[in-house]
Amino acid sequence: MAANTARYLLLGRLGFFGLWLLQPLWILWLAPPQLGNAYVLLALLWLPLWLPFYGIVKGHAYTLAWANFIVMIYFLHSLTNLWVASGMHLYLSILELLLASMMFIGCTYYARFRGMELGLKIPRLKDDPRR
């Protein structure tokens, strides 16, 4: 694995595990919700991170590529909180946005460079013989 590819894998993993740790800490300890059940919110925000867990630990490029769909949940959550929150929620939202950005960039470029190393290509539309 090339050094560039390994760096993006590390960046994606740091963002992922940062989000994976931040969600229960935020919801159960640092700034629990005042309305509603904290465990329901925890299930909604933490359980999606368990879906790509194995593939991210193993470094599967395909898993890291589709994990970007899951990270959009945390982009939306952090940006919504940045718009309406204050105090501790504001700082946690900035951290969540930073971690989600790290995961997104790391996963995207790892999947791209790892695919190139393995010789996998997505054909360009103009080069597709079926057209």
10 Å Cβ neighbour count for 115?
16
Whole-angstrom distance, CA of residue 10 vs CA of residue 72:
19
Predicted TM-score of the model (pTM): 0.90
Q: What is the pLDDT of residues 29-88, one digit of tens each?
A: 999 988 889 999 999 999 999 999 999 999 999 999 999 999 999 999 999 999 998 899
d(CA 14, CA 12): 6
* Rg of the chain, C-alpha, whole Å: 17
pLDDT of residue 71: 98
Distances (CA, A) of 11 to 44, 110, 115, 131: 24, 9, 17, 38
pLDDT classification of 104: cutoffs 50, 70, 90: very high
